[in-house]
Amino acid sequence: MIEQRKLRVAVLGGGSVGSQVASLLIAHGDELAARAGAVLEVVGVVVRNLDAPRDGDIPRELLTTDASALILQADIVVELIGGLEPARTLILEALNSGADVITANKALLATHGPELFEAAEQVGAQLHYEAAVGGAIPIIRPLRDSLAGDRVSRILGIVNGTTNYILDRMDVEGDTLENALAEATRLGYAEADPTADIEGFDAAQKAAILASLAFHTTVPLEAVHREGMTSVTLEQVVSARKAGYAVKLLAICERITDAATGVEGVTARVHPALVPLSHPLASVHGANNAVFVEAEAAGSLMFYGAGAGGIQTASAVLGDIVSAARRHVAGGPGVAESTQANLPVLPMSSVTTKYQITLTVVDEPGVLAAIATQFSDRGVSVEAVSQSVRDGGDEARPTATLVIVTHRAAESSLAATVTALAASPVVSSVVSVLRVEGQ
Amino acid sequence: MIEQRKLRVAVLGGGSVGSQVASLLIAHGDELAARAGAVLEVVGVVVRNLDAPRDGDIPRELLTTDASALILQADIVVELIGGLEPARTLILEALNSGADVITANKALLATHGPELFEAAEQVGAQLHYEAAVGGAIPIIRPLRDSLAGDRVSRILGIVNGTTNYILDRMDVEGDTLENALAEATRLGYAEADPTADIEGFDAAQKAAILASLAFHTTVPLEAVHREGMTSVTLEQVVSARKAGYAVKLLAICERITDAATGVEGVTARVHPALVPLSHPLASVHGANNAVFVEAEAAGSLMFYGAGAGGIQTASAVLGDIVSAARRHVAGGPGVAESTQANLPVLPMSSVTTKYQITLTVVDEPGVLAAIATQFSDRGVSVEAVSQSVRDGGDEARPTATLVIVTHRAAESSLAATVTALAASPVVSSVVSVLRVEGQ
């Protein structure tokens, strides 16, 4: 039998994902070698503390604290440290030494992606990052390869499992946001400091990565409009369901034309939105993730699965390791990241969306006309209005609830309308303003 | 500016997909060149009749009837003729000349896949076939690359849009199978001769392709157990919904252990099945396709989208063309198909599934016990029984309907049980026997 080629794999990071990746590489060695066309030898696992307890079965002698020394021995480097530094420096060291790099580090990719892709291209190495978005859900490769001949027009993604768990629990169990968050923390879905999830920072990083990939254009993290979901109330979730919607925190990437300037470009944003119950994203429950892609020729596609648990992320990382190994075996440089389209990245003010506005209004003749005028005066077109029966106020001044859904409107026009409504004598209060997506 | 590399693309077949692929390659030339790193020049489109009317804007001078001559000029050959011959011979000619080949030909891959993959590997070319299953839904690349480090345990796929349209219409509109088929034909979802779709031949080809890919094992078409959906009645669909199920024609690929022999292997089968309404596949409506994948580390994933329309298939083909072009630009041979696992392909008799059996029984004391005994005597364990109120027969011998769901059982045990039930004096008739999947 011919001796099989051997490829040396260095794992940076001995946390949950790193331990599982190293353990599975060792445990499934023969199987993975057959698929990769080369033996994948784990040459070391870089940890901060050699004596810390860790998951999985990693032989003690593989543990090291010297990342730079280990990188020099490796054909494939797996970065699972997280954070910007030293991850960035170590990845650059690895790429410059000619190693292929696999990372799940969304913060780093969203912040320093172009620098890393450039470094990989310079030496003909390749940077893989299937695990950075959606855990084990294959979304990076489908966008980069399968849809490479198509034109993606829009991505709507539920890319943060923690916030989907919280919103789904509010919807299904009737929990308040505080209680649902407490439950998410208890179950380990939310971290001790949940800011990155609930304020949308995590989703914004993923939006930057998805938009860059889908539109072949570098979309910097700073260009992603971000609103968290801490302002979503149980009342909003309950009313949404009655009106035929689920509330989801969405990462939205769109190719649009600015109505004022005629400039065609791309946008990325993260905010809570109403999704019609008939839309496939409305059925994504618990901590699951899903990415809905609309493309010119392919039509609508959806990719669905568990979010980023340790074992799911390990699955995606192992797939990337096998892909990298196959390329090493085949020879030839890696495929460079495609950012040749260089479309302008447009600001949030270029975006138009539908809105649902809930108002408490004085229940008397002429009110609807007065309110409709506030919309039409600012060029916002109304798609649907529903008015409840008298449900508040007092005998002298009874009130009712009015729910208005607009056609697509610019944020500035909508904001001006809401300001005018709030000041109107027939409006008691503006209860809620939410964007509507997926229609 | 540096002159960009040029790659010559030959399109075999000027039908709906071929015309759209050629037209889009020409219309989106600059955009695709930027993504691929090379100009993709269409050197010709092979047609049977130069004068036939066709879709899209293909310059007349690109049309030719001489496939072999065109192949010799091409770096990338796109086979969209369909059928076994001359497609097989032309693909072999192309691979042997060193060209990468893109095909959407599921019949050919399911029948002659190993020969074609072998030919590609010999010369270091690559055979791409993302369009062969699920139209534009990326499923080939996710299975081959993204999940290459994981262990797939099961695939449940709605991979035939025609039959899903028919079954969904029976469910949603209450149409009979005949009427739903007529409507599918009218809308162009079903062909004049719908045999390949409704008898499951098309789905069986896709099952062979998916099983081969998922389990790194050659699964020949003959090894796929196939049952069509022509025996599904409106009554079954209506009763299924009442009991909490949708009826779907599924392609099912499993890694299982034969209970009798202890042999671990793989199976592939196509048949109608009950899917719980809570399962994501139950919500796949109309002519859409979806592939549900269960893997050891990744957990459950679903890939969803439109089935194989002309434009959707063109999207997948164009993605493959860009991938092939990137490899040409990078250099190095293609990645060989992974079939190194060589697991045994097990027969249908190794498969166990749950069953739902609907019986009309004599409504008198002791009947349930008599029937339960028929199951237990053959080692079939009952999970749930529901009995309707008296709904038939006459005064002297009233009857009721009994719906039994079993735990997983072997087909042979179930068949023996059904035979015994049919002969039982307390059973008026065996109304329906359906497998239950996705639970």
Quick: pLDDT tens for B153-190.
999 999 999 999 999 999 999 999 999 999 999 998 88
pLDDT of residue B390: 74
Cβ <8 Å between B149 and A321: yes
Write out the binding residues of B.
12-19, 106, 191
When pLDDT is averaged across residues A88-95 and rounded to a whole number, the result is 98
Candidates A34, A280, A301; nearest CB to B340: A34
The single residue listed with the structure tokens 């609830």 is A401
How far is B151 from A181, CA to CA, in rounded Å? 33
Residue percentage of chain B with pLDDT more than 90: 83
Chain A residues within 8 A of B28 when measuring between CB atoms: 149, 151
Topology match between the domains B6-135+311-330 and B140-304: no
Check residue B332 and give its pLDDT.
75
The tens digit of pLDDT for each residue in A221-244 reads: 999 999 999 999 999 999 999 999
Section B338-362 average pLDDT: 90
Distances (CA, A) of A191 to A133, A187, A229, A231, A372: 18, 10, 16, 19, 45
Which residue of B146, B306, B335 is in closest CB contact with A300?
B306
Check pLDDT > 50 for residue B1: no
**Residue B130 to residue A146, Cβ atoms within 8 A:** yes
Nearest-Cα distance to chain B for A420, in Å, is 42
In this predicted model, which residue has the larger pLDDT, A275 or A394? A275
What's the pLDDT band for A287 if we cut at 50, 70, 90? very high
- Asked whether the bond before B86 is cis by omega within 30 degrees of 0, the reply is yes
The chain A residue lying nearest B129, using CA atoms, is A146
| Nearest-10 crossing angle of helices B310-330, B29-36 | 40
Flag whether A14 is marked binding. Answer: yes
Q: What is the predicted pLDDT for the residue at B2? A: 52
* CA–CA min distance B200, chain A (Å): 24
Q: Are A302 and A94 in contact (CB under 8 A)?
A: no
Question: End-to-end alpha-carbon separation of chain B, Å?
Answer: 59
CB B74 within 8 A of CB B99: yes
The residue of chain A nearest to residue B17, with distances taken between CA atoms, is A297
Closest CA to A155 of A312, A269, A246, A286: A269
Interchain proximity B319–A130, CB inside 8 Å: no
Q: Which two tokens stand for residue B149?
A: 């480090």
Cβ contact, residue pair A330, B326, below 8 Å: no
The 3-state DSSP class for residue B225 equals strand
Topology adopted by domain B6-135+311-330: Rossmann fold (3.40.50)
Stretch (H or E) spanning A92: helix A87-96
Give domain limits for chain A.
6-136+311-330, 140-306, 351-436
Instruction: Please name the fold of domain A140-306.
Output: Dihydrodipicolinate Reductase; domain 2 (3.30.360)
> Mean pLDDT in chain B?
93
Name A197's bridge partners.
none
Q: For position A3, what pLDDT does the model report?
A: 62
pLDDT tens string B351-374: 999 999 999 999 888 899 999 999
The DSSP element (H or E) to which B269 belongs, if any, is: strand B264-276
Q: Which residues of chain A are within 8 Å of residue B145 when distances are taken between CB atoms?
A: 138, 141, 319, 322-323
Q: Are B87 and B103 in contact (CB under 8 A)?
A: yes
User: Where does A157-200 have alpha helices with state H?
Assistant: 161-173, 177-186, 195-198
* B37-50: average pLDDT: 94
How confident is the model at residue A111, as a pLDDT? 96
- pLDDT of A368 above 50: yes
pLDDT at A2: 52
- A216 neighbourhood in chain B, CB within 8 Å: 34-35
State the nearest Cα–Cα gap between B122 and chain A, in angstroms: 13
pLDDT at B227: 97
Q: Which of B296, B301, B312, B323 to mutate to test the interface with A (most CBs of A within 10 A)?
A: B301
Q: Name which residue leads in pLDDT, B41 or B396.
A: B41
Residue ranges of the annotated binding site of B for NADPH are 106
Q: Which of A439, A363, A355, A353 is nearest to A402 (CA)?
A: A363
Q: Which fold has domain B140-304?
A: Dihydrodipicolinate Reductase; domain 2 (3.30.360)
- In angstroms, rounded to a whole number, what is the distance separating the alpha carbons of residues B252 and B232? 18
The lowest-confidence range among A1-5, A15-19, B262-266 is: A1-5
- Chain B neighbors of A305, CB-CB under 8 A: 298-302
For A279, phi and psi rounded to 5 degrees?
-80, 140
Find the range with the poorest average confidence among A301-315, A336-350, A371-385: A336-350
User: What is the pLDDT at residue A203?
Assistant: 98
**How many angstroms separate the CA of residue A60 from the nearest CA in chain B?**
24
- Displacement of CA B327 from its chain's centroid (Å): 28
Which two structure tokens, joined as six digits, stand for B219? Answer: 């699964």
* Alpha helices (H) along A331-410: 367-377
pLDDT tens per residue across span B259-310: 889 999 999 999 999 999 999 999 999 999 999 999 999 999 999 999 878 8
- Residue A98 neighbours by CB under 8 Å, 6+ apart: A123, A124, A125
Helix (H) or strand (E) holding A166: helix A161-173
Across the interface, of B31, B319, B341, the residue whose CB is closest to A146 is: B319
**CB neighbour class for A274 (10 Å; exposed up to 12, middle 13-18, buried from 19):** buried
Closest Cβ–Cβ partner in A145, A148, A319 for B147 = A319
Return the residue in A301, A320, A323 with the most chain B beta carbons within 10 A, the one to mutate for interface testing: A301
Question: How many CB contacts within 8 angstroms connect chain A with chain B?
Answer: 209
Say whether B149 and A322 touch across the interface (CB within 8 A). yes
Minimal CA separation from B91 to chain A, in Å = 21
- Per-residue CA distances from B288 to A31, A119, B107, B135 (Å): 34, 41, 20, 10
Tell me the pLDDT tens digit for each residue of B382-397: 999 988 777 777 878 8
- Amino acid symbol at B172: V
pLDDT of amino acid A436: 96
Higher per-residue confidence, A99 vs A57? A99
Q: Is the pLDDT of residue A1 over 50?
A: no
The 10s digit of each residue's pLDDT in A27-55 is: 999 999 999 989 999 999 999 999 888 77
> How far away is chain B from the Cα of A393, in angstroms, using its nearest Cα?
42
Residue A339: closest CA among chain B residues belongs to which residue? B35
Residue A301: pLDDT over 50: yes
Q: Is the Cβ pair A319, B151 closer than 8 Å?
A: no
**Within 10 A of B49 (CB to CB), how many other CB atoms are there?**
10
CA pair distance A34, B244, nearest whole angstrom: 43
Instruction: Find the CB nearest A141 among B146, B299, B311.
Output: B146
Q: How many other C-beta atoms lie within 10 A of the C-beta of residue B389?
A: 8
Q: How far apart are the first and last CA of chain A?
A: 60
Confidence of residue A337 (pLDDT cuts 50, 70, 90): confident
- CATH number at A6-136+311-330: 3.40.50.720
Contact A181, A198 (CB under 8 A): yes
Residue linked to tokens 């009218």: B186
Q: Is B62 helix (H, G, I), strand (E, B) or coil?
A: helix
**Taking CB atoms and an 8 Å limit, are A332 and B327 in contact across chains?**
yes
Better-predicted residue by pLDDT, A397 or A225:
A225
Question: Of B51, B408, B391, whose CA–CA distance to B256 is shortest?
Answer: B408
- Is A17 marked as a binding-site residue? yes
Q: Which two tokens stand for residue A200?
A: 């949308």
Q: Answer yes or no: is pLDDT of B334 > 90.
A: no
Q: What is the mean pLDDT of chain A?
A: 93
Asked if B74 contacts B8 with a C-beta cutoff of 8 angstroms, the reply is: yes
Distance, CA of A267 to CA of A255 (rounded, Å): 7
Supply the DSSP symbol for A223: G
Give the closest of B146, B314, B322 to A138, CB-based: B146
User: Which CATH number among 3.40.50.300, 3.40.50.620, 3.30.300.180, 3.30.70.260 corresponds to the domain B351-436?
Assistant: 3.30.70.260
Tell me the H-state helices in B216-256. Answer: 234-242
Decide if B318 and A280 are in contact by the 8 Å CB cutoff: no
What is the pLDDT averaged over residues B182-208? 95
- Give the β-pairing of A63-64 and A39-46: parallel
Catalytic residue among B6, B206, B248, B354: B206
Cα separation, B301 vs B139, whole angstroms = 11
Q: Is A153 assigned to a binding site?
A: no
Does the pLDDT at position B58 exceed 50?
yes
The pLDDT score that the predictor gives to residue A338 is 75
Q: At a CB cut-off of 8 Å and minimum separation 6, what does B369 contact?
A: none
The yes-or-no verdict on residue A96 having pLDDT over 90 is: yes
Query: A242 an active-site residue?
Result: no
Is there a contact between A40 and A33 (Cβ–Cβ < 8 Å)?
yes
DSSP assigned state of A350: G
Are B338 and A150 a contacting pair at CB < 8 A? Answer: no
